[in-house]
């Protein structure tokens, strides 16, 4: 099923033995456009803590129940590391979470967090038998960022501005980010354009801009236009 990224925020997270919180954010690798983590706000249960959940543990989101199921217990989530720092999330924090759940990290296997879904391998230095925390520096991974932060970013083609990112379409079969919904503003008043995330060339996180590897004429001629 396809979802708007913005619609996933606020969905309840149901562990095997009760509710643990709600979706606060989704983290993507901006090189592969693959979602990596769900950020869950635990609310009053853990006094406002935020925790990372690997996507491999998630069931399908449900429109009927407005929730996710997750194949973890409340105690497992309670004992997991806090998300205490601002984004981007550090590779060391990711490693601690994988250690906690006793799973192999995606950067070691060359696979994404979902079973049987291949993504672009990410090179990391070899790790020893002490676990993925060893030999990992305490620094941010600049490629692991919030997809919800991107909503509202300026969209720039090779020859000019084309509007702003209104939302992102996510396939819950593999948690890959597909089309970007662009509000074209003054360029095509009252309309929206869908473009593939695969033509994104660069994200300027400071300047709040997304640059795509195509021009305005090609976008208008080849990409679906939907009414506002």
Instruction: Give the tens place of pLDDT for each residue, 11-51.
Output: 999 999 999 999 999 998 887 888 888 999 998 898 878 89
CA 100 to chain CA centroid, Å, is 21
The predicted structure's pLDDT at residue 82: 80
Q: What is the mean pLDDT of residues 146-159?
A: 94
Of 124, 145, 166, the domain-final residue: 145
Three-class secondary structure assignment of the chain: CEEEHHHHCCCEEEECCEEEEEEEEEEEECCCCEEEEEEEECCCCCCCCEEEEEHHHECCCECCCCEEEECCCHHHHHCCCECCCCCCCEHHHHHHHHHHHCCCCHHHHCECCCCCCECCCCCCCCCCCCCCCCCCCCCECCCEEECHHHCCCEEEECCEEEEEEEEEEEECCCCEEEEEEEECCCCCCCEEEEEEHHHEEEEECCCCEEEECCCHHHHHHHCCEEEC
Q: How much is the mean pLDDT over the chain?
A: 80
Farthest CA pair distance, the chain: 58
What pLDDT score was predicted for residue 81? 84
Task: Supply the CATH number for residue 54's domain.
Answer: 2.30.30.240
- Among 145, 167, 197, give the residue marking a domain's end: 145
Task: Check whether residue 7 and residue 32 sit in a common domain.
Answer: yes
d(C-alpha 72, C-alpha 64), whole Å: 21
pTM for the full predicted model: 0.78
The whole domain housing 110 covers: 2-145
Give me the number of domains the chain comprises: 2
Q: What is the pLDDT of residues 82-126, one digit of tens each?
A: 876 556 677 778 888 888 888 777 776 544 433 333 222 222 233
Whether 52 and 102 map to the same domain: the answer is: yes
> Does one domain contain both 25 and 131?
yes
Identify whether residues 130 and 182 lie together within a single domain: no
The gap from C-alpha 67 to its chain's centroid, in whole angstroms, comes to 17
What is the pLDDT, as a whole number, of residue 122? 29
- Report CA-CA distances (Å) from 81 to 40, 66, 128, 132: 12, 26, 22, 15
**What token pair was written down for 29?**
């690798």
With tokens 């708007």, the residue in question is: 4
């Amino acid at each position: 099923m396809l979802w708007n990224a913005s619609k996933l925020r606020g969905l309840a997270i149901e562990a095997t033995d009760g509710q643990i919180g709600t979706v606060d954010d989704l983290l993507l690798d901006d090189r592969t456009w693959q979602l990596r983590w769900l950020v869950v706000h635990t609310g009053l249960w853990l006094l406002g803590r935020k925790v990372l959940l690997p996507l491999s543990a998630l069931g399908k989101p449900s429109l009927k129940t407005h929730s996710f199921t997750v194949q973890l217990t409340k105690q497992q989530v309670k004992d997991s590391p806090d998300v205490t720092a601002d984004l981007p999330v550090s590779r060391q924090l990711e490693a601690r979470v994988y250690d906690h759940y006793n799973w192999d990290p995606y950067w070691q296997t060359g696979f994404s967090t979902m079973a049987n879904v291949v993504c672009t391998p990410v090179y990391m230095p070899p790790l020893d038998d002490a676990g993925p925390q060893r030999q990992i520096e305490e620094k941010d991974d600049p490629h692991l960022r919030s997809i919800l932060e991107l909503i509202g970013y300026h969209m720039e083609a090779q020859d000019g501005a084309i509007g702003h990112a209104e939302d992102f379409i996510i396939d819950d079969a593999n948690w890959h980010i597909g089309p970007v919904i662009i509000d074209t503003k003054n360029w095509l008043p009252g309309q929206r354009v869908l473009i593939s995330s695969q033509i994104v060339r660069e994200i300027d996180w400071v300047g709040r801009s997304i640059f795509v590897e195509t021009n305005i004429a090609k976008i208008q001629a080849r990409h679906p236009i939907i009414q506002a």
